[in-house]
Chain A
Amino acid sequence: EIVLTQSPATLSLSPGERATLSCRASQSVSTYLNWYQQKPGQAPRLLIYDASNRASGIPARFSGSGSGTDFTLTISSLEPEDFAVYYCQQRSNWPYTFGQGTKLEIK
């Protein structure tokens, strides 16, 4: 089973700042790495698929990069609605696995 490790566990930033979230895989997942956003009481929302492709309706301030074992989700300028938990997820090997999440909180 591929283990995904996200860092940091918590990121405290202010609106307007740039956020950089990391996800490291225990073995190569090529570019089969997705990012989800989850707010309290809501289902996860797909942001980025296959490492760098924005899902439908996702603002351009969200971007993803990486391949192999190291991936990054960048939010260029934080909006108030961006404060949430972010999960990376790999679909390279079954079982699909998620990272433990990064909580992005308001500083």
Chain B
Amino acid sequence: EVQLVESGGGLVQAGGSLRLSCAASGFTFSSYDMHWVRQARGKGLEWVSAIGTAGDTYYPGSVKGRFTISRENAKNSLYLQMNSLGVGDTAVYYCARAPRASGTPDYWGQGTLVTVSS
């Protein structure tokens, strides 16, 4: 069974940092692209970052230079280092896997809540 379990969320002050983790199981982690997507309370979905099987990374302008995605295939783990956090970064953060061939996230974790206080 495919499982993605996020952790590391919590309350942080504006300007602070947080590192999210996503533990994967039930599939060959190294063969999949991995993504982070966030959702503010009551709002829509926003792409945060992605990392390919070769380690190539992608970010939207809203987080570029502040967030860093990485993966550790030996530990079946995905990470998101978030620096210079602002109140606008408050959201549930989901990790998701995407088959290389389709590029479409097909399984998502249940998310971890990040709250940035002013």
Please give, as numbers and ranges, the residues of chain B lying within 8 Å of A50 by CB-CB distance.
102, 104
A98 touches B105 (CB 8 A): no
Q: Mark A72-107, 1 if CB is under 8 A from B, else 0.
A: 000000000000000101010011111111000000
Please give, as numbers and ranges, the residues of chain B lying within 8 Å of A34 by CB-CB distance.
104
Cβ-neighbour of B105 out of A38, A46, A94 (below 8 A)? A46
B106 touches A46 (CB 8 A): yes
Q: How many Å lie between the Cα of A87 and that of B44 in the bound state?
A: 8
In the complex, how many residues of chain A place their beta carbon closer than 8 angstroms to a beta carbon of chain B?
Answer: 25
Please give, as numbers and ranges, the residues of chain A lying within 8 Å of B111 by CB-CB distance.
43
Q: How many Å lie between the Cα of A56 and that of B61 in the bound state?
A: 33
B87 an interface residue at 8 Å Cβ cutoff? no
B108 touches A101 (CB 8 A): no
Please give, as numbers and ranges, the residues of chain B lying within 8 Å of A42 by CB-CB distance.
110
B60 an interface residue at 8 Å Cβ cutoff? yes
B44 touches A43 (CB 8 A): no
A43 touches B110 (CB 8 A): yes
A87 touches B45 (CB 8 A): yes
B46 an interface residue at 8 Å Cβ cutoff? yes
Q: List 18 A-B contacts (CB under 8 A).
A: A1-B61, A43-B94, A43-B110, A43-B111, A44-B45, A44-B108, A46-B104, A46-B106, A87-B44, A87-B45, A94-B58, A95-B60, A96-B47, A97-B47, A98-B47, A99-B44, A100-B44, A101-B45
